[in-house]
A and B are shown apart, each in its own frame.
Chain A
């Protein structure tokens, strides 16, 4: 296997340049958060040093003063300056909150993540314990334990830690369960790794990010809760003081003098908001890590244009291009696809993963994911130019004229709706078919796909059916509207061979009875050669060959098609002869190099291939190939010929 040099997309290469802008700290919200946190940090460190003496100095001459110029918040019952007390209490208010959160988080995360690595019985016990702990309201638990541990800062911190641990345990349990079910965890277990290693190496790194966010936000809540305990007299005890205690003392005279009570309240809210904002910013930064970057426009591959408009063409597409923003930059998986389907024709679209075949299908069905952008040279469906229609008209045309069958029948249906509802909704919406008649139609279609059960089946829900049955229902639903085109995207990949054959026979039946054109997308060349009339071979976002299906095994002219055919293990090929492989890697979908997408893997390349991209051109009326030097047609039809051509 030939390895290309490290791809230019390695995120590390560009991360440094744009870290500040990408993490979002330079936004107004980021600046505000930083300023708030910075001020809290400064006050926490310097407050007690700068104002500590003033805060503890009693002044019998100025007891319970209202706010004045010398005492901005007034004084308390011993004549101590309240502003100085408020500022120097920062330390004692924040530290316990942070300590309580960290203690609680440590306990909770340990408990929760243990569920991922212990055996079944211990896991159930731990889960039950966590559920039990969660059943009690956190604040009540905190008050109970604060009373139990005895009033004081230490007791309050421990009580709060106990109270917030179950919440952490539950979140960790949920997150860790996802990791525990992965294959790499199973592989690590098969390696016999010890539990602590599983925990530290495989579980915790994967769930660290959401847990950190959660801890930050929980600190804000802990601050409020601790202040509450102090306010109730269960927290910090005089002569020590924190914001909660100051609030409690100020409350006695709130009707005569509101500021001594309001000011500690503001301080609590300020700090709590600062922690919440920090959590928001961290979450935002984590989400932004998957934001796309712009990449440069690739060299334009010329696409063939000017396909003659034919009366019996259901679909005509010229020069379709799709751009898709991803974390790695804008990828261009489809780079100039031209295809046409006649009425009643079954055309196979084959290619390896990343060749752009699925996105071509999604673009045709107008189902591209958000952010993806498709451009068309020509796009005619049922003889109407798609550009000439309004969005609404186009949707309607697609809904009535086209149906799509997806690879995974499990996710193609809404699991909460009955089969009958999902089968009949299209005809009822678009053809205004009355309900009873729509149900009759659905029953007829189910009969056709050989699904017994009739009305009982219509009343069932998707999860009650097997994969093969669901795919048959999908075909029945697709043919409800008698569409002119069915796009089937790997409809049998998730199914077994015997079921696959059943599905293929059904598709043949639909096509024969309704003269429906079928665009059949698959990576299985043997299946496509077996089932289709014509095959389009896709590579690197372009169609490299268009040939009759019966010629695929022996008559392919493009080097890629030949090599692909030769690499298929078959029940008929010689076992002792090594299978052919295609050296190298498929082209980078972000790549911008000109030339034929296959040129760097092609054993027949010439100089021209690297600089100029070949256009799909006709060899004979039924056979088109995009290659500067198409291989000579095989003289005697046989696989041996294909092999020679490769060497």
Chain B
């Protein structure tokens, strides 16, 4: 396991704290995650769950206060400029909003040249070749090179941002909500491009998104985050077909689906509000809102007392829950996913809805 992780990105018990207005806020709390080379881990969670903080910690924009982050087996801890540069050679980040991720005053050529020349000296000819190669890699026309970002569409800008990140040939690529600002038709193309690029270049990718469908398209493994902790990790299809953590199940059932038919209007999904990350609940962080937790089943008071993180460690389908669902128990909403994914593509019509 160690060997495997050493090739890509590995996080061991990483904790990141922010200075909040009322004291420190633990945005990421003891997260362990492995992204082997050539694979993609999808990180899913709602806003405030700490996904983006985790990404910033990996690329060195935030510094973790505990735990280790290794890239290619090496740890990059230093805060000096030289350490930063060594980390930048290994890990790159693609941002959510393509409108702000590129310097509006620099042409595509200048942006890419800056990135390509950040760590290696290139003469004019090899630099031009590199820029041409990068544009081709992300499926952009060479004519784009002399445009400034505002002359490009959102999808093209995001491709330029991907090209800039890949210009240093990183071992790890972090994609932080890269598709959420894009239109649906462009989104599909970018997801396909990312998958192809990974197959060709073999980098490890951490794909952060709140869009489960997009995560499913690109990821080999999916990790679900809630309030700074990873609550469930499993191979993509296993997680989507047989979610074991109650939070994952709720999350999945909230996704509207075009082909699975209309869902009934019902009870609110989760009772209560997302707890304040400055003072998280004790024990399992999900227990106050859990549909099968101590609020509904009083005998399950262990949830409020003991954190289920430890017991779950080390399993292939890791669910940090004291009372996980068995892996093969399909929740009702996944049944349709099952059928469709198996080839029987008949979607449900509103008539045959389960009531």
Q: Which residues of A contact B (CB under 8 A)?
A: 1, 3, 6-7, 10, 119, 182-184, 186-195, 201-202, 205-206, 352-353, 450, 466-469, 495-502, 505, 508, 523-527, 529-531, 550, 552-554, 563-565, 567-575, 578-582, 585-586, 637-640
Binds A, one of B23-31, B67-75, B89-97, B120-128: B89-97
Distance to closest chain B CB from A599 (angstroms): 16
Q: Which residues of B contact A (CB under 8 A)?
A: 46-47, 59-61, 79, 81, 84-89, 91-93, 95-97, 100-106, 114-115, 118-119, 139-141, 143-144, 147, 151, 153-156, 159, 161, 164-165, 168, 183-189, 191-192, 210-214, 216-217, 236-237, 240, 250-252, 254-260, 262-263, 265-266, 268-270, 273-274, 336-337, 340-341, 343, 345-347, 349-350
Q: A193-B114, A498-B250, A579-B188 are in contact. Are A1 and B156 (CB under 8 A)?
A: yes
Find the A residue at minimum CB distance from B96.
A183
Q: Once bound together, how far apart are the Cα atoms of A523 and B181, in whole Å?
A: 11
A119 to B59, CA, bound (A): 16
Tell whether, in the assembled complex, residue A192 and residue B119 are in contact, meaning their CB atoms are under 8 Å apart.
Answer: yes
Which residues of chain B come closer than 8 Å to A572, judged between CB atoms?
Answer: 257, 259-260, 336-337, 340-341, 347
- Report how far A625 CA is from B195 CA in the complex, Å: 36
Select from chain B the residue with minimum beta-carbon distance to A529: B258
Min CB gap B210→A, angstroms:
6
Contact of B214 among A353, A450, A523, A569 (CB under 8 A): A569
Kindly list chain B residues whose C-beta atoms are within 8 Å of the C-beta of A500. Answer: 254, 256
Q: Which residues of A contact B250 (CB under 8 A)?
A: 498
Tell me, rounded to whole Å, the shortest Cβ–Cβ distance linking A220 to chain B: 29
By a CB distance below 8 angstroms, the chain A residues around B346 are 637-638
Chain B residues with CB under 8 Å of A637's CB are 346-347, 349
Query: Given B46, B143, B337, B340, which contacts A3 in the complex, CB threshold below 8 Å?
Result: B143
Q: Tell whether, in the assembled complex, residue B85 and residue A575 are in contact, meaning their CB atoms are under 8 Å apart.
A: no
| A3–B144 CB distance below 8 A | yes
A231 to chain B, nearest CB (A): 44
CA A352 to CA B183, docked complex, whole Å: 6
Q: How far is the CB of A541 from chain B (nearest CB, A)?
A: 15
Closest A residue by C-beta to B346: A638
In the complex with contacts A498-B250, A529-B258, A195-B168 CB distance below 8 A: no
Select A505's contact among B79, B192, B268, beta carbons within 8 Å: B268
Partner of A498, one of B164, B251, B263: B251
In the assembled complex, the CB of B63 is this many whole angstroms from the nearest CB of chain A, namely 10
Considering only CB atoms, which chain B residue lies closest to A492 in the complex? B256
Q: A497-B251, A569-B191, A575-B217 given as contacts; is B184 within 8 A of A640 (CB)? A: no
User: Are A6 and B143 in contact (CB-based, < 8 A)?
Assistant: yes
Is the Cβ of B257 less than 8 Å from the Cβ of A192? Answer: no
Given A192-B119, A525-B258: 18 more A-B contacts, CB < 8 Å: A1-B156, A3-B143, A187-B164, A190-B91, A191-B114, A192-B86, A193-B114, A195-B81, A466-B273, A497-B46, A497-B251, A497-B255, A530-B263, A571-B212, A571-B257, A572-B259, A581-B188, A638-B345
Chain B residues near A505: list those with CB within 8 A.
265-266, 268
Are A525 and B273 interface neighbours, CB within 8 A? no
Other-chain residue from A183, A205, A206, A571 in contact with B240 (beta carbon distance below 8 A): A571
Top 4 nearest A-B pairs (CB, nearest first) are: A192-B88, A192-B85, A579-B188, A496-B46
Contact B347 A1 (CB under 8 A): no
Determine the chain B residues whose CB is within 8 A of the CB of A554 once the complex forms.
Answer: 347
Q: Looking at the complex, which one of B87, B88, B114, B216 makes contact with A575 (CB distance below 8 Å)?
A: B216
User: Who on chain B is nearest to A560 by CB?
Assistant: B185
CB nearest neighbor in B for A553? B258
Q: Tell whether, in the assembled complex, residue B155 and residue A1 are in contact, meaning their CB atoms are under 8 Å apart.
A: yes
Contact between B274 and A190, CB atoms less than 8 A apart: no
**Which residue in chain A gives the minimum CB-CB distance to B182?**
A353
- B88 contacts which of A191, A206, A497, A585 (Cβ < 8 Å)? A191
By beta carbon, the residue of chain B nearest A509 is: B265
| Min CB gap B185→A, angstroms | 4
Kindly state the separation between the CA atoms of A501 and B266 in the bound complex, as whole angstroms.
10
Which chain A positions have C-beta within 8 A of B188? Answer: 567-569, 579-581
Say yes or no: A564 contacts B256, CB within 8 Å. no
Please indicate the chain A residues that have their CB under 8 angstroms from the CB of B88 in the complex.
190-192
B141 lies within 8 A of A3 (CB): yes
Instruction: Compute how far the CA of A499 lies from the CA of B141 in the bound complex, rounded to whole angstroms.
Output: 40
Question: Given A119-B79, A569-B214, A575-B216, does the pair A581, B258 have CB atoms closer than 8 Å?
Answer: no
Are B103 and A184 touching (Cβ within 8 A)?
A: yes
Q: Does A1 lie within 8 Å of B256, measured CB to CB?
A: no
What is the distance, in angstroms, from A507's C-beta to the closest C-beta of chain B?
Answer: 10
Q: In the complex the two chains form, what is the Cα distance from A499 to B258 in whole Å? A: 19
Give the residues in chain A near B115, CB-CB below 8 Å: 191
* Closest Cβ–Cβ distance, residue A544 to chain B (whole Å): 14
Q: Is the CB of B350 within 8 A of A529?
A: no
**How far does the alpha carbon of A500 sit from the alpha carbon of B211 in the complex, in Å?**
12
Q: How far is the CB of B84 from the nearest CB of chain A, in Å? A: 5
Whole-angstrom distance between the Cβ of B334 and the nearest chain A Cβ: 8
B254 touches A501 (CB 8 A): yes
Known: A192-B85, A571-B212, A580-B188. A501 touches B156 (CB 8 A): no
B144 and A194: CB pair below 8 A?
A: no
B151 contacts A569, CB within 8 Å?
Answer: no
Do A524 and B273 touch across chains, with their CB atoms under 8 A apart? no
Question: Contacts of B168 on A, CB cut-off 8 Å?
Answer: 191
Contacts of A498 in B (CB 8 A): 46, 250-251, 254, 269-270
Q: How far is the CB of A482 from chain B (nearest CB, A)?
A: 21
Contact A581 B255 (CB under 8 A): no
Chain B CB within 10 Å, residue with most, of A182, A499, A571, A586: A571
Enumerate chain A residues within 8 angstroms of B252, measured Cβ to Cβ: 571
Is B192 within 8 A of A186, CB to CB? no
List of A residues within 8 angstroms of B255 by Cβ: 497, 526, 571
24 chain-A/chain-B pairs, Cβ below 8 angstroms: A1-B139, A1-B156, A7-B151, A184-B100, A184-B101, A186-B95, A191-B92, A193-B114, A193-B118, A495-B47, A496-B47, A497-B254, A497-B255, A499-B46, A500-B254, A502-B268, A505-B265, A550-B350, A554-B347, A568-B184, A570-B257, A571-B260, A572-B340, A637-B349
